[in-house]
Amino acid sequence: MKKVMVSLRSILSEAVEREWITHNVALDVKLRRKSRTAEDEKIIPTKDEIRLIIENAPASHRAMFITAIFTGMRISELRGLTWDCVDLTRRVIKVTKRADEFGAMGAPKSRAGLRDIPMAPIVHQTLSAWRS
């Protein structure tokens, strides 16, 4: 909404300069910031809850859960993760692509999405075993 309002204000300011309109009504619009409530707070699982998730994960999904939990990767980045992006020697995951819910591969959402993520020991062990 903020980006739209910036563009709208700019367009209407140009219209005022060209004397097409007398007043930029968008300047009077104030955007309210979203207030954080208890409902908006993130729920972070405890170590015991994480241990429980990993222990009860189906074997076919265990590597994905561990990688997600200990890297913070987005689900689309996990879907797009291929072995050429996993450097087991340097213990780094390179995020260079993502896959949407239909499996279509593409670049990360933004330049900030391109990054190297160091592997925690459990991620390294799990991915090494999974690859074997």
Domains of the chain with CATH codes: 2-33 (no CATH), 47-131 (1.10.443.10)
pLDDT in tens, 37-51: 656 677 788 999 999
pLDDT in tens, 100-120: 888 889 888 778 888 999 999
Provide the pLDDT for residue 17: 92
Local confidence band at 93 (pLDDT 50, 70, 90 cut-offs): very high
Q: How far is CA 102 from CA 15, 67, 68, 82, in A?
A: 44, 21, 19, 16
Q: What percentage of the chain has pLDDT greater than the value 90?
A: 53
pTM reported for the whole predicted model? 0.65
